[in-house]
């Protein structure tokens, strides 16, 4: 399953070796376990920020590594993150008008 | 839409025509599509966030969610992302049989996830949460239903891709086709990463 | 580009009958044989050629322009006199809903798509768009959506909730007929068409520019179209969500807009306007792009401040996503939201103003040629400014509170939409007609067309400012003498003026139709470069050959065509003509590329669209129909993906093979 030799060119073009992907997957699994633990363990005031940060970290990791965005042309990043950025801006504003973020 | 036209050759490699950016048309198109999908799921997620606590009838989210169960199916989908990227990796190495193996596993994991969703929905329904029961229920089913349909379409695409590879009907850049379907699949996974946290883990 | 291509190689045994492309299939591997007819009605039904699709878009869009116009005339007839009895209240609601919906989604957007489809590839020196079959799919989906939308007239009544279709009013309780369901489906399908088209054109611009054409050497029309596609790709999903939620409520009993269940009536408004505001920039930017070509050409001067025009267009696009709630100032948002959106809306006037100044400075000091195209372009600058000024008064939330839901708003958007967008499109008609059809539209008729439209337009919409401030609400199906106000210049007077104006406007449009008919009958051909234009689409025959350019041009300048015709004279420092358009085209023919690949026709876009249409109708008429539609969609999708590659030896002789120049009647 894992390649024994990885040419430098390969790594440049395709981002990572199989072993690297498995490492990322393990990290993602661990973070997921941590997320699920919030259901069982009381995080106190850290609950919300911890969950949100973990969500963002997982999101960025999948996008950057599994989807290769980190290693590909910046144009792809521009196209995708513009969409994502607009979505976050527009929908947070939308929810704000409903006083959603006011405790 | 299954229009990752397997016979569409990358314009950049097509008889000396260069693409102005040096990038593949299909890949640009897929990233644009995924960018627009952010706004689609963002709308459904926002509607859910607005309505999550509005429960005129029927059960409240905290009464109905089965976090352990959903955690398992989230893990399944996450692992399918790994198997997908291994399929792409195999395709880059031109290893058709490995590619198909990983595609199959990815598809099976995806189908398992969808099976889990179906089980979850039927359980909720039996516990009194129908589509029209409350604002919470309508929003929940719409959001997760849309996501589930996306996963299902993904599974169909994966299985179709396997068949097309087996029949040797891809004349263009095979690795790219696998990569494109991979991008779609990973996106569906990251949407679930958001849904899992915002819908299930953060109580309303 | 797909490998279902026609390879044009020199020296092939060739069957060019009267210049028409004839293709002989040899094998087919897939589900069905490839269509090969390149003549007759099948040529149009299965085409993936961006130019043919552009003409199809334009024709259908113009038909819908007339439909929407007739709907408007009904409205004006109803409101010309007190106690109008031409339309009942119910019919009136349907009429204004469909007038707006048709004009926006079935005329304006597709007409812009017509121009974009035809000219964007030409302006960047490409031979087609990035995804030709998807391009065809966009057209057929648009047609399907338009037909479904208008089928409602005959199938129980059209939608009647206004083009903005506010829920809960548009929900099942208050809108029980199927009209709104047709509206939802028609728009959903047309929306998919636009989304696919936007991805197609962005990739085309990013990837298929001629060598040497950097982004900042692209014509402004191409730039504005590019900004529009970004607006579409990111705003359409939002209305998709809104339409889906409404459909789930109406057809499957969901509760999203059910206030008794705790729904918030503002949910729809937000979702709709998050799309709806970028949408209005989608409508106007193509017109801005068109006149940014026309004004320099007919002022014999380059566009003033090209980078500013480009960046202001991009800014308008971006800021356009941040102002949507100015459509909701009176909805109970609260003072903080209102203040924020009010300021954002004022900000967006700035880049628009930048454009106006650049256009004026383009004309300043130029040698103005008052052709019909130029008249319409100048008309846009003036009329859009008027509309923009009333828009600024809306941005100020306190004054908007008086203006909202009155005819003052109707005046504003008709000045920007008719005086702005429509005038821009007409300018484009007169400017580019010779290139597309090889004939010049008659300039004298063009003048009559213009003046009747200008006078008619101002008589129709000018008084609406007054009517609005006098208190006439929107969407009011009848007015009475008792409520018309005192004095001579009351509601009655201005409504009459407006209605008369609308018919003068209609006569203006009629002049255009007469012009088109007369031109079509006139055998006189247009010169290749009648306006001494500046951009790449003019280095082609009129109409362009199927492959656009015999040789892909290498670009060194902004306004490349101009710079090939004119060089600076060292001694006098003036521009001296060194070549004519005809000479340049002949030179290109003589140096034609050896290998030209063009995408081949296909059944699947049409078939897939039919499947989508059936699927949509199934939402209204029952699940069995949905299943049939879904099967057609599935079958077509697989057919598309597995479409057999075209056999290798296909046969089209470019005019310059073997170094000989051949006269070939361009494929129409």
**What percentage of chain C exceeds 90 in pLDDT?**
86
For residue B34, give how far its alpha carbon lies from the nearest alpha carbon of chain C (Å). Answer: 10
User: Residue C139 domain-assigned?
Assistant: yes
**Peptide bond between residue C543 and the one before it cis (omega within 30 degrees of 0):** yes
Range of the domain at C207: 106-263
User: How far does Cα C456 stand from its chain's mean position?
Assistant: 23
Read off the pLDDT of residues C555-583 as tens digits, 9 standing for 90 and up.
999 999 999 999 999 888 889 999 999 99
The domains of chain B are located at: 2-201
**Beta carbons within 8 Å of C3's beta carbon, 6+ residues apart:** B7, B8, B9, B171, B172, C645, C646
Beta bridge partners of C5: C599
Contact criterion met (CB < 8 Å) for A98 and C233 = no
- Chain C interface includes A80 (CB < 8 A): no
CA distance to C36, C235, C268, per residue, from C166 (Å): 47, 18, 6
Contact criterion met (CB < 8 Å) for B51 and C256 = yes
Q: How many helices (H) and strands (E) does chain B have?
A: 6, 0
In this complex, the residue of C206, C234, C264 whose CB is nearest that of residue A83 is C234
Q: Read off the pLDDT of each residue in A20-31 and give the average, rounded to a whole number.
A: 97
User: Residue C571 domain-assigned?
Assistant: yes
Contact criterion met (CB < 8 Å) for A67 and B183 = yes
Residue C18: pLDDT band with limits 50, 70, 90: very low
**What percentage of chain C exceeds 70 in pLDDT?**
91
pLDDT score recorded for residue B172: 72
pLDDT score recorded for residue B8: 38
Q: Answer whether residue A88 shows pLDDT above 70.
A: yes
CB pairs A-C closer than 8 Å = 25
Neighbours of chain B (3+ CB pairs under 8 A): A, C
Q: Read off the pLDDT of each residue in C278-295 and give the average, rounded to a whole number.
A: 98
Read off the pLDDT of residues A37-84 as tens digits, 9 standing for 90 and up.
999 999 999 999 999 999 999 999 999 999 999 999 999 999 999 999
Residue in chain C lying closest to B31 (CA):
C199
For residue B194, give how far its alpha carbon lies from the nearest alpha carbon of chain A (Å). Answer: 6
User: Residue C559 domain-assigned?
Assistant: yes
Contact criterion met (CB < 8 Å) for C234 and A82 = yes
- State how far the Cα of B32 lies from the Cα of A76, in Å rounded to an integer: 8
Read off the pLDDT of residues C174-196 as tens digits, 9 standing for 90 and up.
999 999 999 999 999 999 999 99
Map residue C367 onto helix, strand or coil. Answer: coil
Contact criterion met (CB < 8 Å) for B23 and A76 = yes
| Residue carrying structure tokens 């503002």 | C266
SS3 helix, strand, coil % of chain A, rounded to 5? 75, 0, 25
- CB contacts of A1 in chain B (<8 Å) are 86
Residue C654: pLDDT band with limits 50, 70, 90: very low
Residue C600: pLDDT band with limits 50, 70, 90: confident
Longest dimension (CA), chain C: 82
Backbone angles phi, psi at C130, to 5 degrees: -65, -35
Residue pair C607/C599 in contact (Cβ under 8 Å)? The answer is: no
The total domain count for chain C is 2
Residue C668: pLDDT band with limits 50, 70, 90: very low
What's the half-sphere exposure (Cβ side, CA atoms, 13 Å) at C4? 30
Which DSSP symbol is given to C601? P
Residues 637..656 of C with a Cβ closer than 8 Å to B: which? 637-638, 640-645
Residue B203: pLDDT band with limits 50, 70, 90: confident
User: Residue C569 domain-assigned?
Assistant: yes
For residue B160, give how far its alpha carbon lies from the nearest alpha carbon of chain C (Å). Answer: 9
**Beta carbons within 8 Å of C571's beta carbon, 6+ residues apart:** none
Residue pair C215/C123 in contact (Cβ under 8 Å)? The answer is: no
| Interface with chain A: mutation pick from B82, B113, B179, B182, highest number of A CBs within 10 Å | B82
Residue pair C409/C474 in contact (Cβ under 8 Å)? The answer is: yes
Backbone angles phi, psi at C598, to 5 degrees: -120, 145
CB pairs A-B closer than 8 Å = 123
Element (H, E) at C625: helix C623-641
pLDDT score recorded for residue A103: 73
pLDDT score recorded for residue C16: 37
Q: Read off the pLDDT of each residue in C207-232 and give the average, rounded to a whole number.
A: 97
**Peptide bond between residue C168 and the one before it cis (omega within 30 degrees of 0):** yes
Q: Is the dihedral of CA B73, B74, B79, B85 positive or negative?
A: positive
Read off the pLDDT of residues C481-517 as tens digits, 9 standing for 90 and up.
998 999 999 999 999 999 999 999 999 999 999 999 9
φ/ψ region of C428 (left if φ > 0, alpha if ψ in -120 to 50, else beta) reads alpha
Contact criterion met (CB < 8 Å) for B2 and C202 = no
Map residue C566 onto helix, strand or coil. Answer: strand
| Residue carrying structure tokens 């799309």 | C275
Element (H, E) at C629: helix C623-641
Own/partner pairs, A29-37, CB within 8 angstroms, 24+ separation: A29/B75, A29/B78, A29/B79, A31/A57, A31/A58, A32/A58, A32/B71, A32/B74, A32/B75, A32/B78, A35/B196, A35/B197, A35/B201, A36/B67, A36/B68, A36/B71, A36/B201
Instruction: State pTM to two decimals.
Output: 0.92
Q: Answer whether residue B185 shows pLDDT above 60.
A: yes
pLDDT score recorded for residue C518: 97
Last residue of a domain, one of C543, C561, C591: C591
pLDDT score recorded for residue C14: 33
In this structure, CATH architecture of domain B2-201: Up-down Bundle (1.20)
Read off the pLDDT of residues C308-340 as tens digits, 9 standing for 90 and up.
999 999 999 999 999 999 999 999 999 999 999
pLDDT averaged over every residue in chain B = 90
Q: Is the dihedral of CA C511, C514, C519, C522 positive or negative?
A: negative
Q: Answer whether residue A16 shows pLDDT above 90.
A: no
Last residue of a domain, one of C263, C279, C297: C263
- State how far the Cα of C537 lies from the Cα of C125, in Å rounded to an integer: 8
Read off the pLDDT of residues C392-431 as tens digits, 9 standing for 90 and up.
999 999 999 999 999 999 999 999 999 999 999 999 999 9
- CB contacts of B68 in chain A (<8 Å) are 36, 39
- CB contacts of B2 in chain C (<8 Å) are 637-638, 640-641
φ/ψ region of C520 (left if φ > 0, alpha if ψ in -120 to 50, else beta) reads alpha
Model ipTM value: 0.91
pLDDT score recorded for residue C363: 97
- Chain B interface includes C273 (CB < 8 A): no
Q: Answer whether residue C210 shows pLDDT above 60.
A: yes
Nearest to B182 by CA among C636, C605, A65, C646: A65
Last residue of a domain, one of C263, C283, C307: C263
Q: Read off the pLDDT of each residue in C530-540 and give the average, rounded to a whole number.
A: 96
Neighbours of chain A (3+ CB pairs under 8 A): B, C
Contact criterion met (CB < 8 Å) for A35 and B201 = yes
pLDDT score recorded for residue A85: 97
Residue in chain A lying closest to B38 (CA):
A84
- State how far the Cα of A40 lies from the Cα of B98, in Å rounded to an integer: 40
Read off the pLDDT of residues C443-480 as tens digits, 9 standing for 90 and up.
999 999 999 999 999 999 999 999 999 999 999 999 99
Read off the pLDDT of residues C19-66 as tens digits, 9 standing for 90 and up.
444 443 433 334 455 666 567 888 899 999 999 999 999 999 999 999
Neighbours of chain C (3+ CB pairs under 8 A): A, B
| Interface with chain A: mutation pick from B193, B198, B202, highest number of A CBs within 10 Å | B193
pLDDT averaged over every residue in chain C = 91
User: Residue C313 domain-assigned?
Assistant: no
């Amino acid at each position: 399953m894992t390649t024994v030799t990885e040419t430098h060119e390969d790594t440049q073009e395709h981002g990572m070796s199989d072993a690297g992907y498995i490492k990322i997957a393990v990290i993602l699994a661990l973070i997921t376990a941590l997320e699920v633990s919030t259901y069982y363990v009381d995080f106190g005031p850290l609950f919300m920020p911890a969950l949100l940060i973990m969500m963002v970290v997982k999101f960025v990791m999948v996008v950057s590594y599994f989807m290769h965005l980190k290693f590909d042309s910046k144009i792809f990043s521009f196209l995708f993150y513009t969409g994502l950025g607009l979505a976050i801006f527009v929908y947070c504003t939308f929810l704000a008008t409903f006083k959603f973020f006011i405790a | 839409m299954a229009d990752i036209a397997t016979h569409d050759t990358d314009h950049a490699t097509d008889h000396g025509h260069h693409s102005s950016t040096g990038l593949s048309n299909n890949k640009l198109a897929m990233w644009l599509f995924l960018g627009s999908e952010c706004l689609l799921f963002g709308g459904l997620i926002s509607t859910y966030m607005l309505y999550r606590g509005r429960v005129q009838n029927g059960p409240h989210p905290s009464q109905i969610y089965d976090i352990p169960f959903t955690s398992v199916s989230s893990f399944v989908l996450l692992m399918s992302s790994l198997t997908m990227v291994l399929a792409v990796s195999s395709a880059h190495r031109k290893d058709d049989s490995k590619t198909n193996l990983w595609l199959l596993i990815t598809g099976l994991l995806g189908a398992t996830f969808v099976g889990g969703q179906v089980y979850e929905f039927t359980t909720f329904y039996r516990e009194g949460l129908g589509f029209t029961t409350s604002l919470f229920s309508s929003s929940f089913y719409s959001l997760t239903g849309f996501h589930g349909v996306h996963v299902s379409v993904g599974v169909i695409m994966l299985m179709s891709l396997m068949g097309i590879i087996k029949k040797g009907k891809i004349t263009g850049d095979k690795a790219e086709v696998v990569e494109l379907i991979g991008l779609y699949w990973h996106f569906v996974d990251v949407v679930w990463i958001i849904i899992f946290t915002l819908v299930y883990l953060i109580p309303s | 580009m797909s490998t279902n291509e026609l390879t044009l190689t020199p020296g092939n045994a060739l069957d060019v009958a009267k210049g028409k492309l004839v293709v002989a299939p040899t094998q087919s591997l897939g589900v069905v044989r490839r269509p090969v007819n390149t003549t007759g009605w099948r040529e149009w039904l299965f085409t993936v050629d961006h130019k043919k699709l552009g003409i199809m878009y334009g024709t259908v869009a113009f038909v819908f322009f007339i439909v929407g116009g007739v709907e408007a005339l009904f409205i004006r007839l109803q409101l010309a006199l007190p106690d109008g009895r031409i339309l009942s209240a119910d019919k009136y609601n349907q009429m204004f809903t469909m007038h707006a919906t048709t004009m926006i989604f079935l005329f304006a957007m597709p007409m812009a798509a017509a121009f974009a489809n035809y000219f964007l590839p030409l302006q960047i020196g490409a031979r087609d768009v990035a995804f030709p079959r998807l391009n065809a799919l966009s057209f057929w989906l648009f047609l399907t959506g338009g037909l479904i939308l208008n089928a409602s007239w005959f199938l129980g009544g059209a939608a009647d909730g206004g083009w903005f279709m506010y829920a809960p009013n548009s929900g099942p309780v208050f809108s029980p007929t199927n009209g709104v369901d047709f509206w939802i489906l028609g728009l959903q399908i047309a929306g998919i068409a636009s989304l696919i088209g936007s991805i197609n054109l962005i990739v085309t611009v990013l990837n298929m520019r001629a060598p040497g054409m950097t982004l900042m050497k692209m014509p402004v029309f191409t730039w504005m179209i590019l900004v529009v596609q970004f607006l579409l790709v990111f705003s359409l999903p939002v209305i998709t969500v809104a339409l889906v939620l409404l459909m789930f409520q109406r057809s499957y009993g969901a509760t999203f807009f059910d206030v008794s269940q705790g729904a918030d009536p503002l949910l729809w408004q937000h979702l709709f306007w998050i799309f709806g505001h970028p949408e209005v920039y989608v409508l106007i930017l193509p017109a801005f792009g068109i006149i940014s070509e026309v004004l320099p050409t007919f002022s014999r001067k380059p566009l003033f401040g090209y980078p500013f025009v480009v960046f202001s267009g991009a800014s308008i696009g971006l800021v356009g996503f941040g102002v949507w709630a100015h459509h909701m100032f009176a909805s109970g948002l609260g003072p903080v939201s209102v203040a924020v959106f009010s300021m954002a809306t004022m900000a967006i006037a700035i880049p628009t103003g930048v454009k106006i100044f650049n256009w004026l400075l383009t004309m300043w000091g130029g040698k103005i040629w008052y052709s019909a195209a130029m008249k319409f372009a100048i008309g846009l600058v003036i009329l859009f400014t008027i509309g923009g000024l009333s828009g600024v008064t809306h941005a100020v939330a306190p004054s908007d509170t008086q203006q909202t839901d009155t005819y003052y708003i109707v005046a504003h958007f008709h000045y920007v939409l008719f005086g702005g967008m429509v005038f821009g499109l007409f300018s484009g008609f007169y400017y580019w007609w010779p290139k597309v059809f090889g004939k010049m539209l008659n300039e004298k008729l063009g003048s009559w067309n213009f003046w009747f439209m200008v006078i008619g337009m101002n008589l129709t919409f000018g008084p609406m400012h007054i009517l609005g401030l006098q208190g006439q609400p929107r969407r009011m199906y009848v007015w009475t003498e008792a409520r018309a106000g005192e004095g001579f210049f009351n509601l009655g007077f201005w409504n009459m003026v407006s209605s008369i104006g609308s018919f003068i406007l209609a006569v203006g449009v009629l002049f255009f139709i007469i012009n088109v008919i007369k031109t079509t009958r006139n055998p006189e051909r247009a010169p290749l470069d009648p306006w001494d234009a500046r951009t790449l689409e003019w280095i082609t025959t009129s109409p362009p050959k199927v492959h656009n350019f015999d040789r892909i041009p290498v670009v060194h300048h902004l306004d490349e065509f101009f710079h090939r015709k004119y060089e600076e004279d060292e001694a006098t420092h003036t521009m001296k003509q060194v070549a004519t358009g005809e000479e340049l085209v002949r030179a290109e023919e003589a140096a034609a590329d050896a290998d030209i690949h063009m995408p081949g026709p296909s059944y699947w876009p049409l078939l897939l669209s039919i499947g989508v249409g059936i699927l949509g109708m199934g939402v209204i008429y029952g699940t069995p129909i949905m299943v049939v539609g879904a099967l057609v969609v599935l079958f077509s999708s697989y057919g598309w993906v597995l479409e057999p590659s075209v056999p290798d030896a296909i046969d089209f002789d470019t005019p310059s093979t073997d170094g000989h120049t051949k006269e070939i009647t361009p494929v129409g």
